[in-house]
Copies of this chain bind each other. A is one copy, B any other.
């Protein structure tokens, strides 16, 4: 398998954790999101993934896109160890946590949105940072309440073994800290993310450990 990735991309980070947890070897192909207007928008990469976003996972003849669709695919093709619980209601809980991050927080704060705000809406650096913080804080506030009150939460989002929820949580916490958001306001989220980061599959997937890290 071949993963088109950028060290700091949250969505790629999620997939790297999944591949590590499943014990799957892969070739890392860096796509620099900032260099030269963005390598992801160039014909070379568009030939692989016309969407012009990372990650893309190439598995045989298949080019898979969208991090959560890729992770569900890995779960179906390499079921061990599972990244989702067995019971449908528990699976829905885990997927809802993952999607709260992937659909409510991350899309608003990713690079192309921040670029549009700067260049098209022409907001200044302070307004951009306020925007970033607003969506992380709005999302983390409700997520913290959910995680603090749900009995299924253990050392990680669902008990003590990693699920797709943790795969989304860790990169989002990483991003929040990079933008100087005080994550101690969200003690359950912080505790889960810090515990997850102590697991080798998560640690190896961290941005600083990637071949294209700067």
| Chain A residues with a Cβ under 8 A of chain B | 50-53, 62, 64-66, 68-70, 72-73, 76-77, 88-89, 91-92, 95-96, 98-100, 102-104, 106-108, 113, 116-117, 120-121, 123, 127, 130-131, 134, 142, 145-146
| Distance in Å: Cβ of A101 to nearest Cβ of chain B | 10
Contact pick for A76, options B50, B88, B116, B117, CB 8 Å = B88
- A100–B49 Cα gap in the complex (Å)? 12
Report chain B residues within 8 Å CB of A99.
Answer: 66, 68-69, 102
Report chain B residues within 8 Å CB of A121.
Answer: 117, 121, 123, 127, 131
Q: Who on chain B is nearest to A78 by CB?
A: B88
Q: Main secondary structure on chain A at its contact with chain B? A: helix
Report chain B residues within 8 Å CB of A117.
Answer: 121
Q: Who on chain B is nearest to A73 by CB?
A: B92
List 16 contacting pairs A-B, 8 Å CB cutoff, sorted by A.
A50-B145, A50-B146, A51-B100, A51-B104, A64-B89, A64-B96, A66-B100, A69-B96, A70-B92, A72-B92, A73-B88, A102-B103, A103-B106, A108-B113, A116-B131, A121-B121
Report chain B residues within 8 Å CB of A92.
Answer: 62, 64, 69-70, 72-73
Report chain B residues within 8 Å CB of A130.
Answer: 120
Report chain B residues within 8 Å CB of A100.
Answer: 51, 65-66
| Distance in Å: Cβ of A51 to nearest Cβ of chain B | 5
- A104–B53 Cα gap in the complex (Å)? 10
- A149–B107 Cα gap in the complex (Å)? 26
- A102–B146 Cα gap in the complex (Å)? 22
Q: Once the chains bind, are A116 and B142 in contact (CB under 8 Å)?
A: no
